[in-house]
């Protein structure tokens, strides 16, 4: 493939945005304006470029005819962009428009409410938008920002102080302690954080709470979980009630709620808090051939536990359970010695029974005072629909171990007394600080059907080790088709490959940038590579546009090819995009500072800017870009254990993703 074709492919823009519907005008408007700006036709839409009116309408001059023809071509291009981004149901709004500006104004007239009634409606929505306990705080903040932007567009400005106040007061009560402690650290108004800083703080706290699965007592009380009404006994029955049970003839409950023999809840009353071997002997009395039908909770508590499992904990968390007679997991890829079982139901996990499909061994890692302890759980039931993983304390006791609980914590010990796992109390459950090791061989894992949704870590690697903030933006704003993320997966906190690839100081960014694409180009050469690429290249030359930050990478076998690459790139920009290059910023390398390149730039009127000797920071854009490409390329090679001669393909892929 020729270098010209490669340049066209790498510089071509590929935009994937949702077409305009009834409910997505604001994001669609921003995306469409960005595309129009990229193609250089925004001026035909916002009215800054008007069609030329010839002095003599009957006999226009050749210059006027050429200007009118050029304007019509640009306007038609803008119309094409708008029409292709409209869904069929929205085409009716531009039916009579003949110019791009008319199309845009008619869409704004339909989609953007105006007048005091519209402002009052959005103001009412802005003040009444509140987040409930357990809701998605990130989505709530996005909704407030969207309403604020709508008000700004209608001419009703919402100040930063007002937005900050609305945001804080719209949070659930469980956030009051956090916001009060943070905002109370200063009493001076000029030291309060801006709305952007406050959003960053709240989102950090929200993702931290979500990752750790911590739920305040106020949140539990707001949902009605585990709260015991006043004047009630442990069983939840009114002490003042005069209702008499027909079974035990005691007052305060009915026969259906009676725990005594013959009652509707016989044997399900409060048990003593004895752990260890006493509990194991109770569990051993049950049928060992029917362990799948264990019911560890009272009926009313099972429903509450199921709600708490699904919202408070991740599917990768492990909980200690004193009632289950077998360990349970939903992680098939963490199991070894796997044996298929005839599907049976497990009761007591959530509000519905789940099916167990097999049994095997799970190797887990637990964190104890900063150290890692590895041990195996045997005869673990595999239940893919289970919301959490459970460690049976009775099975631990049968194996010779025991557990200690109290003061909001629990410790699991082996027969020698050594601690193998520990956990903390969350609500009425004990969350263990441990995770399963994925022990299944890759070739076996590939044969198992998986969900279409992948983890954050998988998408991070698939997108060339893109930062989590950028990856999250792609997912939440639906900028990419097919990007489905498992909501239960752990948010990405660190990547070992990325850490290995990044160890340096960042150069200072320029304080100003050019306003026209193609006006200033930053260029730098990297090499030589210790290992040649498949095509025999040992160098690459990069070009970065100062205005748009779009980049292109061309590979070379020798440094002497730099003049041809520079000449081809700048000529391509001029011919295909109509942007005249004015400045080329490079270092003092001989591959740039030679009579061939100087003479050609002088002939074309291009200023050749060079940095001071031994001052790479003056060409920081190109230097930083090369560092970024190499970091991403190294990370991709490291994580996939690929040979080093594929460095050119990794660099080209990283540049493609950056664009």
pLDDT of 99 over the 80 cut: yes
Please give the residue that has the higher pLDDT: either 474 or 583.
583
Q: Which of 169-183, 510-524, 579-593, 643-657 has the highest mean pLDDT?
A: 643-657
Residue 52 lies in a domain: yes
- At residue 50, φ and ψ (nearest 5 deg) are -105, 155
- Give me the pLDDT at residue 319, please: 86
* 538 and 470 housed in the same domain: no
Residue 206 lies in a domain: no
- Give me the pLDDT at residue 345, please: 67
* 525 and 649 housed in the same domain: yes
Provide CB contacts within 8 A for 241, sequence distance 6+.
251, 252, 253
Of residues 25, 30, 54, 55, the one with CA closest to residue 42: 30
* 531 and 643 housed in the same domain: yes
* 350 and 466 housed in the same domain: no
Among 117, 148, 164, where does a domain finish? 117
pLDDT of 448 over the 80 cut: no
**Structural domain that includes position 75:** 25-117
pLDDT of 124 over the 70 cut: yes
- Give me the pLDDT at residue 175, please: 84
Helices of type H across 399-447: 442-445
- Give me the pLDDT at residue 632, please: 92
Per-residue pLDDT tens for 535-554? 999 999 999 998 888 999 99
* 465 and 549 housed in the same domain: no
Of residues 387, 376, 380, the one with CA closest to residue 420: 376
- Give me the pLDDT at residue 114, please: 58
Among 102, 117, 132, where does a domain finish? 117
Of residues 23, 49, 18, 48, the one with CA closest to residue 35: 18
* 558 and 471 housed in the same domain: no
- Give me the pLDDT at residue 232, please: 37
Q: Percentage of the chain with pLDDT > 70?
A: 73
- The mean pLDDT value for 625-645 works out to 91
Q: How many domains does the chain have?
A: 4
- C-alpha to C-alpha distances, 196 to 132, 207, 474, 644, nearest whole angstrom: 22, 17, 20, 42
CATH of residue 616's domain is 3.30.420.10
CA distance 567 to 597: 8
* 403 and 527 housed in the same domain: no
pLDDT of 9 over the 90 cut: no
* 492 and 364 housed in the same domain: no
Provide CB contacts within 8 A for 222, sequence distance 6+.
133, 172, 173, 174
pLDDT of 532 over the 60 cut: yes
Pairing mode of beta strands 419-426, 371-382: unpaired
Residue 424 lies in a domain: yes
Residue 274 lies in a domain: no
Residue 386 lies in a domain: yes
* 432 and 463 housed in the same domain: no
* 593 and 489 housed in the same domain: no
Per-residue pLDDT tens for 246-286? 667 676 676 656 767 667 666 655 543 344 433 433 333 33
- Give me the pLDDT at residue 418, please: 83
Residue 384 lies in a domain: yes
* 483 and 597 housed in the same domain: no
Among 97, 117, 137, where does a domain finish? 117
CA distance 646 to 529: 11
Residue 280 lies in a domain: no
Cis before 361? omega within 30:
no
- C-alpha to C-alpha distances, 315 to 372, 383, 385, 436, nearest whole angstrom: 21, 12, 10, 11
Per-residue pLDDT tens for 380-392? 888 887 878 888 8
CATH of residue 344's domain is 2.40.70
Residue 224 lies in a domain: no
* 38 and 97 housed in the same domain: yes
What is the CA angle 635-640-644, rounded to 5? 70
């Amino acid at each position: 493939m020729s270098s010209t074709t490669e340049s066209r492919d790498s510089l071509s823009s590929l935009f994937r945005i949702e077409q305009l519907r009834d409910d997505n005008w604001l994001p669609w408007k921003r995306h469409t304006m960005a595309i129009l700006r990229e193609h250089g036709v925004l001026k035909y839409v916002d009215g800054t470029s008007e069609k030329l009116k010839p002095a003599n309408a009957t006999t226009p001059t050749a210059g006027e005819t050429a200007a009118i023809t050029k304007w019509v071509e640009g306007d038609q291009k803008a119309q094409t962009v708008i029409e292709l981004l409209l869904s069929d149901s929205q085409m009716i709004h531009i039916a009579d428009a003949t110019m791009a500006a008319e199309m845009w104004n008619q869409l704004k007239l339909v989609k953007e409410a105006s007048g005091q009634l519209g402002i009052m409606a959005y103001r009412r929505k802005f003040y009444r938008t509140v987040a409930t306990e357990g809701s998605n705080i990130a989505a709530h903040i996005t909704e407030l920002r969207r309403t604020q932007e709508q008000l700004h567009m209608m001419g009703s400005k919402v100040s930063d102080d007002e937005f900050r106040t609305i945001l804080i007061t719209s949070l659930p009560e469980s956030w009051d302690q956090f916001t009060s402690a943070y905002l109370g650290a200063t009493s001076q108004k000029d030291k309060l954080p801006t709305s952007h800083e406050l959003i960053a703080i709240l989102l950090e706290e929200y993702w931290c709470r979500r990752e750790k699965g911590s739920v305040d007592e106020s949140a539990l009380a707001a949902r009605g979980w585990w709260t015991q009404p006043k004047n009630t006994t442990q069983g939840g029955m009114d002490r003042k009630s005069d209702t008499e049970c027909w079974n035990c003839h005691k007052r305060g409950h009915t026969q259906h709620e009676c725990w005594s023999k013959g009652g509707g809840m016989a044997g399900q009353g409060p048990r003593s808090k004895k752990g260890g071997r006493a509990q194991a002997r109770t569990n051993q009395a049950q049928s060992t051939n029917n362990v799948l039908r264990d019911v560890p909770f009272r009926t009313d508590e099972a429903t509450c536990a199921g709600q708490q499992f699904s919202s408070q904990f991740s599917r990768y968390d492990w909980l200690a359970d004193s009632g289950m007679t077998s360990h349970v997991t939903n992680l098939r890829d963490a199991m070894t010695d796997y044996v298929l079982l005839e599907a049976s139901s497990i009761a007591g996990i959530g509000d519905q029974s789940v099916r167990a499909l097999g049994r095997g061994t799970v190797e887990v890692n637990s964190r104890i005072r900063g150290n890692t302890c590895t041990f195996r759980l045997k005869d673990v039931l595999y239940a893919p629909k289970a919301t959490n993983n459970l460690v049976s304390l009775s099975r631990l006791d049968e194996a010779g171990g025991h557990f200690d609980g109290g003061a909001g914590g629990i410790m699991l010990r082996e027969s020698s007394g050594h601690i193998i796992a520990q956990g903390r109390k969350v609500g009425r459950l004990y969350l263990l600080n441990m995770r399963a090791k994925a022990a299944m061989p890759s070739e076996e894992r590939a044969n198992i059907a998986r969900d279409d949704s992948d983890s954050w870590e998988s998408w991070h690697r698939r997108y060339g080790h893109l930062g989590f903030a950028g990856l999250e933006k792609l997912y939440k704003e639906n900028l990419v088709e097919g990007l489905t993320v498992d909501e239960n997966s752990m948010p990405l906190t660190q990547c070992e490959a990325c850490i290995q690839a990044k160890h340096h100081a960042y150069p200072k960014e320029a304080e100003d940038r050019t306003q026209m694409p193609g006006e200033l180009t930053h260029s730098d050469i990297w090499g030589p590579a210790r290992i040649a690429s498949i095509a025999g290249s040992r160098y690459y030359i990069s070009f970065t546009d100062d205005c748009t930050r779009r980049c292109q990478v061309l590979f070379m076998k020798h440094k002497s090819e730099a003049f041809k690459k520079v000449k081809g790139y700048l000529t391509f920009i001029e011919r295909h995009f109509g942007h005249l290059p004015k400045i080329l910023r490079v270092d003092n390398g001989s591959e740039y500072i030679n009579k061939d390149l100087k003479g050609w730039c002088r002939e074309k009127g291009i200023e050749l800017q060079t940095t001071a000797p031994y001052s790479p920071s003056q060409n920081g854009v190109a230097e930083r870009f090369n560092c970024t490409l190499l970091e991403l390329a190294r990370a991709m090679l490291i994580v996939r254990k690929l040979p080093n001669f594929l460095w050119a393909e990794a660099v080209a892929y990283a540049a493609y993703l950056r664009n």
